[in-house]
Chain A
Amino acid sequence: MNTLEQDLEKLVYERPDTLVETTTHYCPGCTHGVAHRLIAEVIEEMGLRDRTIGVASVGCSVFAYNYFDFDFVQAPHGRAPAMATGVKRTLPDRVVLTYQGDGDLASIGMGEIVHAAARGENITVVFLNNANYGMTGGQMAPTTLPGQKTSTSPSGRDVETAGFPIRASEMLSTLDGSSYVVRRSLHDPKSIRLAKKALRTAFEVQIRGLGFSMVELLSICPTNWGMTPVDSLHWLESNMLPYYPVGDYKINPIVAEIKI
């Protein structure tokens, strides 16, 4: 009897099947792609692909329905939480998520998101905050930082005339209908892991019927920020994180019992 050393390979990671086998229209390095991948991984790991319905919004993620291999509908600008309300109330056994940018959610869609949270709609909102209107050319958004240069604030956001950035997670967490509202960031591997865990928790919250859940994800827009993707990650870390701290802003006590 002899013993032979045999090298075998194991698969550590591969692209999830829940992402359609197609290239995306996103700019190189845009973390919309990371957010998409995390959602696909979580939906797949939870075995929810056959009963998930996404609601796409208007913004760079307007074509999100082309990239996920599950059902999707497309909402008018800002109205995704209203559309998701209708979908979820009609088909309560489905898992319903919206995918919205900061212009979509915190500007034109501020009414819909506030009332969906206030009603405690049993939906999950993925809120991609990149501090500008990416799709239309990098205009100032409600989330644009004080002093941040955009195409409509070329000298930097002046809070005297344009007001202060809105912290959507903190604001929505004050509403009794919200059950799980957290902010995470996509700027480094550790933060991305934590973002994935939060998405998982948010879907668990919905499955348990605990009401409104939202995961805000701080994201980069290298094209309109005028930086390389790597520099954008650093810019996010040093400029967005201080104003938009990652954290758990609303945790329904029952959420603490969810073990992932």
Chain B
Amino acid sequence: MPPKGRIEVDEKYCKGCELCVDACPQDVLGLAAERINAKGYHPAELIEAGCTGCGICTIVCPEAAITVYREVTKAQGNQ
């Protein structure tokens, strides 16, 4: 199973440039067509499941707008 992750886009920074959309290897990013931020841009968002938390979107984002999390599955002993 590929790792599971998610991203958060800080919408005040996003300029809807689509560099993250183009770079995402899972094709799970898109621009929010129905929403604009204070500067008038359609911000990027996850549009479907399948984010692996690889972080590639953050490497190309010129606005440092993206935060990435990845799930770590831990078997926990519970005494």
Contact = CB atoms under 8 A, between A and B. Distances in A.
Interface of A: 1-16, 19, 23-24, 26-34, 36-37, 40, 188-189, 192-193, 228-230, 233
Nearest to A190: B59
Interface string B11-55: 011011111001100000000000000010100000000000101
A9 B39 CA distance: 31
A13 B66 contact: yes
Contacts of A3: 75-78
Contacts of B73: 5-8
B52 to A, nearest CB: 10
A184 to B, nearest CB: 13
Contact of B23 (A7, A16, A189): A189
Closest 5 CB pairs of A and B: A33-B62, A29-B17, A28-B15, A12-B68, A28-B17
A12 B70 contact: yes
Interface of A is mostly: mixed
A14 B39 CA distance: 22
Contact of A189 (B13, B41, B60): B60
Contacts of B69: 9-12
Given A37-B62, A233-B19, A13 B77 contact: no
Given A34-B60, A193-B59, A230-B18, A11 B79 contact: no
Given A15-B67, A189-B23, A32 B72 contact: no
A99 to B, nearest CB: 15
A26 B18 CA distance: 15
Contact of A28 (B16, B60, B78): B16
Nearest to B16: A28
Contact of B62 (A11, A30, A230): A30
A25 to B, nearest CB: 11
Given A12-B55, A33-B62, A189-B60, A5 B41 contact: no
A12 B5 contact: yes
Contacts of B58: 12-13
Given A4-B78, A12-B68, A16-B64, 12 more contacts: A3-B78, A5-B75, A11-B68, A28-B15, A28-B16, A30-B62, A33-B63, A188-B23, A189-B59, A229-B17, A230-B19, A230-B22
A134 to B, nearest CB: 14
Contacts of B53: 12
Contacts of B41: 28
A36 B18 CA distance: 18
Contacts of A36: 62
